[in-house]
Amino acid sequence: MRRALLALAILAALNVPSAYARARHSDAWAREHFATAERMREALNGRPSTERTRRDYQRVLNAYRTIYMGAPASSKADPSVVAVAETLVEMGRRFEDDKILHAAIEQYKFLRREYPGSKYRFDGLFTIGEIYKDDLNDPEEARSTFQEFLRCYPHNRLADGARQAILDLNQAADAEKLAKSRKLVEKSRDRKEAKNVAASKSARGSEEAHASGLSTSKDLSSDSAKGEPSERHAEKLARVTGIRHWSTPDYTRVAIDVESEVKFVSRRIDSPARIFFDLRDTKLASTLVGKSFDGEDGFLKKIRVAESAPGRTRVVLEVDNLSDYDAFLLPNPYRLIIDIHGKDKDGRVRKGGETNETSTVDAEGTATALSSDADQNLADAKPAVLTKSDAADDVTIKSASGIPGVGQKAPAVVKKVVDADDDPSVTSSRSTPKRTRQPSTGRTVAVKKPVDKDFETSDLGIREARPTARGDRSLIRALGLKIGKIVIDAGHGGHDTGTIGPNGLEEKDLVLEVGRRLGKMLETRLGAEVVYTRKDDTFIPLETRTAIANKARADLFVSIHANSSHDPDARGVETYYLNFTSSPEALEVAARENAVSEKSIYELQDLVKKIALKEKIEESREFAGDVQQSLHSGLAVKSPGIRDRGVKKAPFIVLIGANMPSILAEISFVSNPSDERRLATGEYRQRIAESLYRGIAKYVNGLSGVKVASKMDKAAGQ
């Protein structure tokens, strides 16, 4: 038995498929495990490269190896082999380990040998040449590999790249020969000068000889310095290491992983519709050379990536019915985030399942279409500043540049930005104006599951939506839109522990359990469908969390966090919605919750446009007010000293790009010793979940109801 296990372990270490293993799993099993491995890899790539350990990489490698060893004939077998090779390349570069890079080459060779019909066989051979050329500095092996590629696949899309690589290698070899020749000449010259110096010592003296030596050294140092700029320039090139995307029929988010901060330009082209991004001073990682990505179920058709010129990487996004796009750079690790929106039949922008007009309001109050030139030039624009308008109750975007569309006022729906402390409508004591309920149409939706006593069964029927706390009716309420899916986002996870209390309570564990309890209530009591960004101790990048909500076409997004402070006596609860703020305290909290990405964002004007044009800010404010009131009142029953810190606004990255009303709730201070003891108990966590639930139910009660029909149909089909 031990020998059998040892043999299997050796086979796994050698990347040999499970030909000798007895277990054979189905294609469904392979797809399920492949999805798990992909999430593990995404979580790994979401961490700063300096924090990735060999053990972290090994876990990902083992997850992929399990697939092609357990189901070698499945549709996910050869993609898993490729994923192992690509991860080995990343690992070899991270630790500068040539042995691991050679293992990656063997993995690609294994792919070509065991899966000769795989569509990845072309990229595999080409990438071997790239590794020899760029990583192992072995020009002979690289040249041989590229020549083999041209012999086998002379008409492949990568053939031109192989020819160019051979040309580069030949030019490098010629340059090296020339450099060696120059060195020989210099050595010969040095010998002659040395002889002349020795011969003239008796006549000129030792001082003249010393001066001659200094002159020679100076000449040599200046010659060697001539080669430094190109070497330094080569070192500045940041690698583009990965591309990820999430798609729906009318929305796509693309994340492009880069090694360091980069500058980029973008442009949109029609017929066919596509946009491209040029990343300056970058080079393509060997694992991405010649690679393309097919769209899933949305209007994104394909992503193509290539080096359009030395030091410039071009990413082309082929889309159907392109309307608008935004882009911004996030650090630590650096990645370029691109949000793309499509159009409906009438050519209007579709965001989050709704139809919106893309427009701005000029100084005279006239609605005008947003200039496409502004989109094309945003990448080169100077950072914009969001300020309050002194002349009107709306937000003005000011910029030092004269870019059209950037110096204009945002849509009137944005209104004036007001701090929570100055706005009585968002305090915990606010009340909804009384309205006479319209007579029911008689049409109701049957609910199989029990409904919470605070959310009456009659409320689940069709009804007129109530005004907001300010007495206004947003577009969401005017259209009678309902709640179907709610995304619960438990903050942090994996290596990102969040706040750690004085006695060791970790925020990531606390919010995960509260999120589970809350989700169960929303399903059983409210009848809503719940989507979790994470269900276990897994790190999920911030941009992925919002993308999950958009891809699920969710109607609400709730991110759960726990607060911290340098003052151990700080207590209370607060709820945030996405917007700009001048409050130093709010910015400090945002910076802490954005710890994975910090708060420095290169293309600020793209974020300004993204946030300022969001017509859901008012609903997010309303949503935050309901949750904050219920959260404080629910916890104050057993903890009278807990402070109501109110509703606030802040630029949380996890909320950026969400196509639905979104909030971030800070449920307590883990840094407070007495609160930490309460938070460690199941009873208090249940009370927090109950309070959050009541706030969500109160907000939903102000709309036209819950869309439960689709959930019931889904349950009936199971």
pLDDT tens readout for residues 32-66: 999 999 989 988 888 888 889 999 999 999 999 99
Question: For 149-167, how does the pLDDT look when each residue is reduced to its tens digit (9 = 90+)?
Answer: 999 999 998 898 899 899 9
pLDDT at 553 over 70: yes
Each residue's pLDDT tens digit, 79-98:
999 999 999 999 999 999 99
| Range 667-691 average pLDDT | 95
Q: Is the pLDDT of residue 458 over 90?
A: no
Nearest to 522 by CA among 445, 575, 628, 450: 450
Which of 90, 650, 661 is closest to 386 using CA atoms? Answer: 650
Q: Are strands 335-342 and 644-650 parallel, antiparallel or unpaired?
A: unpaired
pTM score over 0.85: no
The listed range with the strongest mean pLDDT (233-247, 434-448, 468-482) is 233-247
Rounded to 10 degrees, the C-alpha dihedral 597/603/605/610 comes to -50
* Whether 458 contacts 447, CB under 8 Å: no
Q: Does the pLDDT value for residue 607 go beyond 80?
A: no
Using a 10 angstrom Cβ sphere, with 0-12 exposed, 13-18 middle and 19 or more buried, the burial of residue 224 is exposed
What is the rounded CA–CA span in Å between residue 165 and residue 44?
A: 31
% of the chain with per-residue pLDDT over 90: 39
pLDDT band at 618 (very low <50, low <70, confident <90, very high): confident
Mean pLDDT of 514-519: 97
Q: Are 111 and 118 in contact (CB under 8 A)?
A: yes
Query: At 329, is the pLDDT very low, low, confident or very high (cuts 50, 70, 90)?
Result: confident
Q: Please tell me the chain's helix, strand, coil percentages from 3-state DSSP, rounded to the nearest 5.
A: 45, 20, 35
Widest CA span in the chain: 119
Q: Retrieve residue 229's tokens.
A: 């700029």
Helices marked H in 205-335: 206-225, 228-236
* 612 touches 384 (CB < 8 A): no
User: Bridge partners of 97?
Assistant: none
| pLDDT tens digits, one per residue of 489-498 | 999 998 899 9
Is the domain covering 236-361+368-414 a CATH 2.60.120.10 domain?
A: no
Please give the DSSP secondary-structure letter assigned to residue 237: P
Which of 187-191, 338-342, 429-433, 595-599 is predicted least confidently?
A: 429-433
Return residue ranges of the chain for CATH 3.40.630.40: 451-714
Which pLDDT does position 462 carry in this prediction? 55
Residues 218-236, mean pLDDT to the nearest whole number: 43
Select 451-714's CATH number: 3.20.20.140, 3.30.43.10, 3.40.630.40, 3.40.50.2300: 3.40.630.40
Per DSSP, the residues of 300-343 read: EEEEEEEEEETTEEEEEEEESSEEEEEEEEETTTTEEEEEEEEB
Q: CATH 2.60.40.3500 residue ranges in the chain?
A: 236-361+368-414
Beta-carbon count within 10 A of 170 CB: 12
Query: Quick one: which of 90, 12, 72 has its CA closest to 333?
Result: 90
- Write b or e for each residue in 321-331: b if 16 or more Cβ atoms lie within 10 A of its Cβ, otherwise e: ebbbbbbbbbb
pLDDT interval class at 9 (50, 70, 90): low
Query: Mean pLDDT lowest for which of 33-47, 176-190, 207-221?
Result: 207-221
Mean pLDDT of the chain: 74
**Region of poorest pLDDT, from 190-199, 329-338, 522-531:** 190-199
What percentage of the chain carries pLDDT values higher than 70?
A: 64
The residue ranking higher by pLDDT, 146 or 13, is 146
pLDDT higher than 90, residue 506:
yes
Report which DSSP code applies to 370. P
